[in-house]
Structure 1
Amino acid sequence: MKISRFAALAGAASLAVGLSACGGGGGASGGDSIKIGIKFDQPGLGLNDAGKYSGFDVDVANYVAKELGKTKVTFVQAPSKQREDLIATGQVDLIFATYSITDARKEKVSFAGPYFIAGQDLLVAADSTITGPKDLDGKKLCSVTGSTSADNVKKDYPGVQLQNFDTYSKCLDLVVNGQLDALTTDNTILAGYAAQPAYKGKLKVVGAPFSEERYGVGLKKGDVELCKKVNTALEKMVSSGEWQKAVDKNFGPAGFKVDSATNPPKPDACS
């Protein structure tokens, strides 16, 4: 299945079941059900393939849900620009969606974690001569609305021609065909795309990360109790070896090397 179909799948099914059959309400505060936001179109991190969920974020989410006593997980699509609203309106209890912890976001939501530290990089055509963001002046760069990635590049390289889409998968064919020069987001996400059969040998990750992205678990602002429970679950996942198993399972096939100097990270104190 090609990546270009993932977005269609995601739009066709806004809700689907995770660990078991979809349950009703209850959320994180009570009962055995929980609603968790993930990305639906990020291979290796959060992917919805006709109702089958896979990726590192999915594995961490399922582990945390189990530790919280939740046996029924409903996965909800969480595009970058909608994540804060999904939490604020109660459509999800938690978000595991390559959700970088930033001061601006902490004004609207709270974060548990981080549970992974990635770095922003560039995905380009296999024959591209781009070696880093310094080569982007006058070039067409693709990113996703609501992501920190594009802002980081535009701030330091104002000459770049930025084009935003609602999902990363919409950028891929445009980069392969030369209509766009590069796609920027976290190296973990880019590695997953480059490893897909439809794009193998056609795309490459530049391999020159230029930021630090601390993936956090988004939750309702001020919910310190839930934050602490999630952090306890994350620490247990690391100490049990399950975190490393999830890393090897999801990033190994893409040949992505996790920076052991920063991973696994210790969760921040909840406030």
Structure 2
Amino acid sequence: MLRFLFLSATLLCCAHAATAQSIDTLKRIADTGTINLGHRESSVPFSYYDNRRQVVGYSHDLMLKVLEALKTELNLPALTLKLVPVTPQNRLALVQNGAVDIECGSTTHNRERARQVAFSVSIFKIGTRLMVARDSGIHDFPDLAGKRVVVTAATTSERLLRLFNEGIGRKFSIVVAKDHGESFAMLEGGRVDAFMMDDALLYGERAKAHEPERWVVVGSPMSSEVYGCMMRSGDRELKRIVDAALTQLMQSGEAMRIYAKWFERPIPPRGLNLNWPASPDLVELYRAPNDQPVD
């Protein structure tokens, strides 16, 4: 009996702690009048700096809409947005330690990460592919034998690429760059033969190229993944508000208008149009938003 009472008390304390954590984030936002939004610096066209070093992009526009919902929910019309740059290497830690309340850029939602942070309903669906020079002779992953391939550090693509390389006979060299901009610079400068990453990000990097027509995205997708916005585990109320706002954007058609702005029209910094209509998978995601990882 005593053991049962102790166990019940322990579970009650844990539940209270989890609830307190979820309330504390919104309380801190309300008390300070500030929300900390994590953004990327070079994840074109999701979250990146334009020519004036202003944060822009598809994910950023979605978050600006979510911010309006938070203002209404918290009755804080003057809520201040503090922008916090994050990298693939530090984004989870900055969410976990409270430096960032919501991170929204191009972060893949998988089960491993879901054990460390909470994710919103998914905001995008991608496939991992290759970008190469048009005349490279590389058309798919088996053509990489003996080549040099760059991938951005601390991404799901890096893990997938290493696993693929371990399982083939004639291997290729893997080069790791700190961010997508550096990865593409290595490809553009001839230091590597291919750049592996999420297809949407590859098209985004192509949009920044000096000669976009030189580069093509090729290969059957090695994986299919979804992006979500990260929050601290246990932030149930914040997640509820974020999910409700994103769901409304998707089902009202507003998210599709934001998509068209960034994927079907000229975008900064060079005014290139990605000319990438929404995939059937993304249309279905908008129709029935969910927060399930794809792995």
Q: Report the TM-score range of the alignment, normalised by the length of the smaller protein.
A: 0.7 to 0.9
Structure 2 distance, partners of 1:29, 1:95, is 19
Structure 1 residue aligned with 2:281: 261
Structure 2 residue aligned with 1:4: none
Structure 1 residue aligned with 2:108: 100
Structure 1 residue aligned with 2:95: 87
Q: Give the alignment of 1:33-48 within 5 angstroms.
A: 33-48=34-49
Larger radius of gyration: 2
Q: Does 1:112 align with 2:132?
A: no
Q: Give the alignment of 1:159-174 within 5 angstroms.
A: 159-174=171-186
Say whether the 8 Å CA contact 1:26–1:33 is kept in structure 2. no
Q: Does 1:185 align with 2:197?
A: yes
Structure 2 distance, partners of 1:199, 1:45, is 21
Structure 2 distance, partners of 1:244, 1:264, is 12
Letter in 1 for 2:136: S
Structure 1 residue aligned with 2:252: 240
**Alignment counterpart, residue 59 of structure 1, candidates 53, 61, 75:** 61
Letter in 2 for 1:230: V
Give, in angstroms, the shift of residue 179 of structure 1. Answer: 1.4
Give, in angstroms, the shift of residue 178 of structure 1. Answer: 2.4
Structure 1 residues 153 and 26: CA distance shift in structure 2, 3 A: same
Structure 1 distance, partners of 2:57, 2:229, is 15
Post-superposition CA distance 1:222-256 (Å, at most 9, x none): 21221121110111111222100111010112112
Say whether the 8 Å CA contact 2:43–2:106 is kept in structure 1. no
Structure 1 distance, partners of 2:27, 2:196, is 38
More strand as a share of residues: 1
Structure 1 distance, partners of 2:28, 2:86, is 17
Structure 1 distance, partners of 2:284, 2:85, is 26
Structure 1 residue aligned with 2:14: none
Say whether the 8 Å CA contact 1:137–1:157 is kept in structure 2. no
Give, in angstroms, the shift of residue 40 of structure 1. Answer: 0.7
Letter in 2 for 1:268: D
Letter in 2 for 1:47: Y
Task: Give 5+ residue unaligned stretches, structure 1.
Answer: 1-24
Structure 2 distance, partners of 1:165, 1:204, is 20
Structure 2 distance, partners of 1:226, 1:98, is 20
Give, in angstroms, the shift of residue 262 of structure 1. Answer: 3.9
SS of structure 2 residue aligned to 1:157: helix
Post-superposition CA distance 1:90-116 (Å, at most 9, x none): 111001121111111112111111111
Letter in 1 for 2:145: D
Structure 2 distance, partners of 1:197, 1:163, is 20
Give, in angstroms, the shift of residue 205 of structure 1. Answer: 1.2
Give, in angstroms, the shift of residue 34 of structure 1. Answer: 1.2
Post-superposition CA distance 1:21-46 (Å, at most 9, x none): xxxx9764655421111111122111
Say whether the 8 Å CA contact 2:260–2:277 is kept in structure 1. no
Say whether the 8 Å CA contact 2:149–2:193 is kept in structure 1. yes
More helix as a share of residues: 2
Task: Give 5+ residue unaligned stretches, structure 2.
Answer: 1-25, 265-272
TM-score (norm 1): 0.84
Say whether the 8 Å CA contact 2:141–2:219 is kept in structure 1. no
Post-superposition CA distance 1:163-191 (Å, at most 9, x none): 11111111223212321011111111111
Q: Equivalent pairs: percent with the same residue?
A: 24
Structure 2 residue aligned with 1:150: 158
TM-score (norm 2): 0.77
Structure 2 residue aligned with 1:19: none
Letter in 1 for 2:210: A
Structure 2 distance, partners of 1:134, 1:215, is 27
User: Across the two proteins, how many residue pairs are aligned to each other?
Assistant: 245
